[in-house]
Structure 1
Amino acid sequence: MKAIKFILLALLLMGEAFASQPGLMRANHDYILNQFGIENNESSKNVVAGIFRAINASDRKQFKHIVTSQSHNAYLVKSEVDNIEAPEFLLYLAMVESHLKNTVTSGASAGGMWQLMPATAKNFGLRVDSAVDERRDPAASTDAAFSYILHLKQNFGKWYLALMAYNCGDQKLKNAIAATGSDDLDRLLKSPALPN
């Protein structure tokens, strides 16, 4: 949920100036549903609206800090997004995963700006061994991460499912879809088969 909240924050900040005009905010919600390939129904709109309501001043401050403190990596990822004509929200995924920092490693051994697991990094062309860890290379890891995300998009068919699989693993997402009998965003977010 934190990842989705942060990505929506990034997209919704573009329309923050219009927050006092509900019709325009609804248009932004529709835009987000469209960008992620989420079915545009009342349930999905309510999920997006609920996440937007949960965004607070601290979230906004953190977002701005990440962009300013890691502007070199933000620029690199944004350039790559533009080069391959990928959806803009892929930039925000790196912000969620690592705050755009190349040096971070999770407790599960995911590393670099894109928090790639060693096996996944190797599967998508990165060298990860005792001498070299290309997950720390912003350009190489961005290329590998985009290849991985595009692979997930091809397998799951929708951007929001690809991002969920990126976050929790494709098998966990497949299990959750099987358990709920649906790939509906609201049902998946409520499913105990997926981590919070």
Structure 2
Amino acid sequence: MNLRSIRLSRHTRTSIKTLTGIAIVCALAACSASHDAKAPTAENLAAALDDHLAQRGDICLSMFDWPIDLTEAEAGSGARHAIQFPVMEQLGLVHSTIVSVPKSSENPDGAVKRFELTDAGRKFYKPHPYANHGTEHANDFCVAHLKREKIVDVKVDASDASHPLAVVSYTYQIDTAPWMQNADAQRVFPMITRITNGAGGQLQLRQGFTLGDKGWVARMGPV
């Protein structure tokens, strides 16, 4: 998942109807002794959530296409790359060179600082498909991976019986890049730090699901 899609929340939208805690049984389907993969139970949604996190549980930084250039204007404005890249260079994840480019009003000096991944940095550049406003990216720079700890709450919107929706709130465990132990890295990546510190029940994440032909399927994007 991309950072912009993460929602840290202890509350859910009032427009979504609450079913009875985690023990949601026989909703949207007839009660029976046999297992119903389409019932919005915590068991079914836990399996769907685990599958989603196994495939899409990486937390990435929207650093899609390398090398990445930093102009003097960007450096002077305090843009996030201007703050983060020097720390990443100190940690041996990227290296920089000065490259001549055509002069422009945004770049009157005709030079940029070009950052490229080192061998150490390339270990964190992973396949992570992402599309936004018609632009698609195949890879991203990823710094952590989430796993479900436990489901705290499930809410279901059954207003459209043929296309029910579910939102799962869950606590998580996190496997973070070793260099995120560095104090400067924690400073320039505050969201990663917050998510890391929230593992083990301190914070909850949410994931939306829709009902497919064979069961519940994760929905991409915010919920």
Could you tell me the TM-score, scaled by structure 1's length?
0.31
Structure of larger gyration radius: 2
The answer to which structure has the higher helix fraction is: 1
